Chain A
């Protein structure tokens, strides 16, 4: 079981051999072998469901492998708990922020480690803050260690999680989608920090769907597919196309195929939704926009520009302070998601984990939740017929390519992309005229993204209006007929036709001089 391309990089600090993990009905990891040397940045890529998450969990000591072994400094080790993994110098920065919100930065950095004490009993806070400051300095993070972490930005919180790895003297740091929901500047800073850590001899495993970042930041890339490592190559030899091909297992997949939406090219029809002067403090300050039948309106903006806030107001989750929402020429007040659904508006929420599904329930039960009264066995009896629900959900499983044994499995057992498809299935069964998609492809693999684009195209061609929110600008430019750019709660630009390009969108997102640096 030789791992390629490690020659000359020294003794691997960590090596996994033949890892395997099977869950009931799902072989999550079949055969994973790779190694990382000190000072090396290893990219780990693969579709959702390829087995990356399970491998990470095994390295973190959260999941026990069925077979295979993990060697640290050449010695086989049993990673029986996350504590055991930490003691061996393996630290994992999970995708979700795992911090104690109301505790200080210093407390979070040293969480689980013994605090310095005074008289052997009381916490020596000044010593703790001093140590924290030293760690934060190494990361170039200029925050007071006494700040509660919930007052920090997402990027800073992620840095705190990385600081925790340093506090533990980690020799292997696993980063799972570390750049999700970060701005470009924050991303480049993070990548610099990663490079510094590597230069200091830390072995990095960098897990991401953002292939440009993987290509830019790593020394070597391991590709997983269907639970196995299918490639292990020097980054210098790779291009985005070859990487995509490796991930999908399809020859000749090219970049243009990644974001491609089939459309009939019909011009948009009548006005469906009009938003005038929509205000909600502190995020929205007088937003105007119009959505027509059969069009995809892209909504661009940096984090904090007010995109999600707008989506929430349109779906009746939050009430606006001012302004009007007009649906099919009629002013409406949307007091709840139910009210929005009556106006035939649907929302695919950004926070899939908390707002998407009841993960303990089955695909069938989640899919039919908004439409329970349409699946009755007897029309006058408010009793859902499981058989009818199954027909509806099975149709969606087929249409959206949801990978599951059957529609009775709990949604929680599915990969992130498939969970997102279940949320989508809900709204396709329910039907709507206006679909608001808030970051529908975040954390989804290449194939899943293509499936989502396909659905967006189908909906628009069927005369629906789609409001498409995405931070992935190439995707936004490819999917949208028209793009509205939000900045600080205001519409700052509307781009149509040939103006809909990544650089134009970016230009308006940053506004003025900043655009030159970023574009």
Chain B
């Protein structure tokens, strides 16, 4: 292609004008249409497919594997129902968490918020005689308030997300203890409240599963199909550019914190409704699995981007290995180690895919 090379100083204009006088259009077809050229080092399509659908494929594989290993117990309606039900409440939290993560923020107070959400509802009902629907609304209101405080402090007052939400988590734990005196609350929980976690009135499927499905669909539509969702991803991608394009970056950040806090309250309510009781400090163990699911999900479907379908598949995947490994009577220690390794592997696959994208 070095047709334009001129060995001698030409002294005039034409010497430099060799190759392609129509420079602009000539630049485009190169590499795209040129059939004679070797294809370069693009990754084969199946590698991309595996990387994108990796967690989904892995989910199907482990379901089949456990099905073969424990044919009598694993692939039964009861068991699958149980796995889905167990995954439902954590899924709502992880889906909620997907929003601040997509905005480039994070929230470490969500575990404590789960605990306070469930405990406050139950404390209002059992200790203060509040009707359960009102208690649920009040608990959701607390979530809204906490999200607003986190969001306003971080977005408008410049607090660091790390310190703000870590401190908020400690505060929320304290508030939970104030509500409950660190007691397990279980007496006097009305059936109406328990039904929020236990009812299977719709097609015999547990209400939590329906609720998680509803939240997943709504949040998927919100993040990927609405103008606000597009702006959220724009903020996560480049907050300055988003602001310079007229996006209200601060307001969206507040919204993200509100959404995850409310989702945490919902999770807390479902857990206490299912058990009909509230234990002290029950929320904190929900923190890390939610992050694990969201990050594992970000390796799926849209690698490098936090997305709701990915999060949902990741929650199911983590739930299935948990249950399956338990059925195989593998020690909890190993279950933890396996889950951690799976998470790191998923991240690596996602990074590889992104590098070549």
Contacts and interface: CB of A to CB of B under 8 A. Distances in A.
Contacts of A252: 13
Interface stretch (A180-188, A221-229, A272-280, A475-483): A221-229
Contact of A358 (B8, B237, B357): B237
A280 to B, nearest CB: 18
Interface of A: 1-2, 4-5, 22-27, 30-31, 33, 47, 49, 66, 223, 225-234, 237, 241-243, 245-246, 248-252, 315, 317, 336-338, 341, 347, 349, 351, 354-361, 365-366, 369-370, 372-373, 382-384, 401, 403, 405, 410, 426, 430, 447
Question: Which of B3, B15, B21 neighbours the largest number of chain A CB atoms within 10 Å of its CB?
Answer: B15
Nearest to A239: B13
Contacts of B17: 245-246, 249-251
Interface in B16-40: 16-24, 26-28, 30-32, 34, 37, 40
A356 B241 contact: yes
14 contacts: A22-B37, A26-B30, A226-B27, A233-B16, A237-B10, A242-B15, A243-B16, A245-B13, A245-B17, A317-B244, A338-B247, A365-B234, A369-B247, A372-B230
Contacts of B13: 241-242, 245, 251-252
A30 B27 CA distance: 11
A358 B234 contact: yes
A225 B227 contact: no
B322 to A, nearest CB: 33
Interface of B: 1-24, 26-28, 30-32, 34, 37, 40-42, 225-228, 230-231, 233-234, 237-238, 240-248, 304, 357
B226 to A, nearest CB: 5
B227 A359 contact: no
A230 B28 contact: no
A232 B238 contact: no
A164 to B, nearest CB: 27
**Nearest 8 CB-CB pairings of A with B:** A246-B16, A230-B4, A358-B237, A27-B31, A237-B9, A249-B23, A22-B40, A372-B227
Tell me the dominant secondary structure on chain B's binding face.
loop
B30 A27 contact: yes
Contact of A337 (B1, B226, B227, B246): B246
B300 to A, nearest CB: 17
A241 B11 CA distance: 11
A360 B40 CA distance: 22
Given A359-B238, A384-B230, 12 more contacts: A5-B9, A30-B1, A226-B1, A226-B30, A229-B5, A242-B15, A248-B23, A250-B17, A369-B246, A369-B247, A384-B227, A403-B27
A357 B17 CA distance: 35
Contacts of B243: 317, 336-337, 355
A401 B228 CA distance: 30
Contacts of A231: 4-6, 15-16, 18
B154 to A, nearest CB: 18
Given A359-B238, A369-B234, A372-B230, A225 B19 contact: yes
Contact of B16 (A24, A223, A227, A337): A223
A249 B241 contact: no
Contacts of A228: 1-2, 4, 19
Contacts of B27: 49, 226, 403
A369 B242 contact: yes
Nearest to B226: A382
A348 to B, nearest CB: 9
Given A225-B4, A233-B9, A251-B17, A354 B246 contact: no
